[in-house]
Amino acid sequence: MLPERSELLIRNAYLVPFDADVPEGEADVLVRGGKIADIGHDLIPRGVEVLDAKGSLLLPGFVDTHWHLWNSLLRGTVGDAPGHDYFSVKRGLAPHFEKDDFYWSARFALAEAVQNGITTVHNWDHNVRDADDVDANLNAQLDSGLRGRFSYGPRDSFANDQVMDLPGLDAARERWSAERLDGRIHFGVALRGPYRTSTELAGIEWRAARERGLPITMHCDRCLREADCRSCGLTRLEDEGLLGSDVQIVHAVHASPEDVAAMARSGATVSVSPLSEMRTMGFPRVTEFIEAGVLTSLSIDTLAMPASADMLGTIRALVSSEHARTGRATLTPRIALEMATIRAARDLRIDDVTGSVTPGKRADLILIDASHPSMLPAGDPVESLVYNGSSDAIHTVICDGRILQRSGRLVQASAREAVTTANERRDALVARARAAGTWDGV
């Protein structure tokens, strides 16, 4: 069950609002009806719970812009041993996911998201098999209490000469109205593009998405670690009329200057996943994207790789690697935090709803203990948070006015269940794959 929305006065928090019209500094925040009703000093509303936030930083909840929730149960099975790489494990286990696996895999990831202050998740589903899978994913997102996008894609290892299941997409959108989605989840499409399919097929899927007014997202990781790769081929997408402000490109670690310029001209955005990219692809080109004016956001990608939902750790790794890679300080701590808040909300086209602490926006908020050892001795709050802060310091997480974490503990029993049963569910999945002869890993 979802917690009830709280009527709440957050008293004396230090605001880091990411809104130029809201001053940074100590203030009160009033939450009513799931939204930020007022920001000020010495507010005295009646009939609300008062939360003393003296000594806490208050930020908008983090916004993830690309996360494969469905394969979170592969964590612990993917590793460095032969045959245990991500793609081998995914190919071996993906066919054996049952409906409940999709639900609980997503719930597990979303519980970890809450613990790390992430209140919006872009569920990038590249293993949609049927209506039950869609329903399991959307129910998981709704039951978690979080906000997000569900990007409908083809099933894992789907034939590259076949058009994705567009009738299934239409049926899902008809079945899941905006009202049923509680105003928190919206649809997008995850397309393969002309490097994974034919140009003709990519055009069919692109046109279908645009006829439906759906935002498009596409992986651009075709080179992986090829030493001689010097381009993502995004100029080709521009030439074919596929790039546009409705397109989010994911990864693009091999983007050439021409690719970056094509994205800037078209208004396309980019989502980078620093931990998985540095592990398997190369270094994110964040400095180049920012300097060219390309809207750039952050994502977790997957829990199956050697990564976690630790957004603060992801930000810290990115800032350090960018400074080492370029020798330039284009990526400041504040910009890096914006990439996980207001810039990410713009990427998902929901910056009118979330991404900043702004009166009238929905109450997606996190409170961070400024006296936590990782934040001491204290310096500039933003720099301290990016360079030193730990997710353990996030004690309260609110999404859409519902308190999902209080005093560092997940509020929902179902979220705690998703964590405590993860081993059991992963083991059952592996056992089914072994019985079918598609997985012989240890």
Percentage, residues of the chain above pLDDT 70: 98
How much is the pLDDT for 280? 84
Torsion angle defined by CA atoms of residues 339, 344, 346 and 352, in that order, rounded to the nearest 10 degrees: -110
Q: Is the pLDDT of residue 319 over 90?
A: yes
**Alpha-carbon span 159 to 168, nearest angstrom:** 17
Mean pLDDT of 182-194: 95
**pLDDT tens column, 414-439:** 999 999 999 999 999 999 999 988 87
Mean pLDDT of 332-354: 98
Ranking 223-232, 315-324, 409-418 by mean pLDDT, the lowest is 223-232
How much is the pLDDT for 225? 52
Whether cis (ω within 30° of 0) applies to the bond prior to 23 is no
Q: Is the pLDDT of residue 222 over 70?
A: no
Q: Is the pLDDT of residue 442 over 80?
A: no
How much is the pLDDT for 439? 79
How much is the pLDDT for 227? 54
- Return the structure tokens found at 100: 């409940």
pLDDT band at 195 (very low <50, low <70, confident <90, very high): confident
Percentage, residues of the chain above pLDDT 90: 84
Is residue 56 exposed (0-12), middle (13-18) or buried (19+ Cβ within 10 Å)? buried
Inter-residue contact 395 to 367 (CB < 8 Å):
yes
Superfamily of domain 62-347: Metal-dependent hydrolases (3.20.20.140)
Specify the CATH architecture of the domain 8-60+362-416: Roll (2.30)
Inter-residue contact 18 to 364 (CB < 8 Å):
no
How much is the pLDDT for 296? 98
The dihedrals phi and psi of 27, each to the nearest 5 degrees, come to -165, 170
pLDDT band at 223 (very low <50, low <70, confident <90, very high): low
Mean pLDDT of 47-69: 97
**Alpha-carbon span 165 to 126, nearest angstrom:** 12
Inter-residue contact 388 to 374 (CB < 8 Å):
yes
**Alpha-carbon span 169 to 189, nearest angstrom:** 9
Inter-residue contact 241 to 209 (CB < 8 Å):
no
Q: Is the pLDDT of residue 402 over 70?
A: yes
Inter-residue contact 268 to 241 (CB < 8 Å):
no
Mean pLDDT of 154-176: 94
**pLDDT tens column, 268-278:** 999 999 999 99
Is residue 267 exposed (0-12), middle (13-18) or buried (19+ Cβ within 10 Å)? middle
pLDDT band at 226 (very low <50, low <70, confident <90, very high): low
Inter-residue contact 252 to 237 (CB < 8 Å):
no
Residue 378 CB neighbour total at 10 angstroms:
10
**Alpha-carbon span 18 to 345, nearest angstrom:** 11
| Short-list 332, 222, 217, CA closest to 282 | 222
Name the average pLDDT for the chain. 94
Q: Is the pLDDT of residue 324 over 60?
A: yes
Q: Is the backbone of residue 328 left (phi > 0), alpha (psi -120 to 50) or beta?
A: beta
Q: Where are the alpha helices (DSSP H) in 212-369?
A: 234-239, 257-266, 274-280, 286-292, 311-326, 333-339, 342-347
User: What's the pTM value of the predicted model, to 2 decimals?
Assistant: 0.96
- Return the structure tokens found at 40: 């000020």
How much is the pLDDT for 391? 96
Domain range summary for the chain, segments of one domain joined by +? 8-60+362-416, 62-347
**Alpha-carbon span 354 to 334, nearest angstrom:** 18
How much is the pLDDT for 253? 92
**Alpha-carbon span 270 to 365, nearest angstrom:** 24
Mean pLDDT of 221-247: 80
**pLDDT tens column, 70-103:** 999 999 998 888 888 888 888 889 889 999 999 9
Q: Is the pLDDT of residue 345 over 70?
A: yes
The SS3 of residue 187 is strand
| Short-list 288, 242, 285, CA closest to 266 | 242
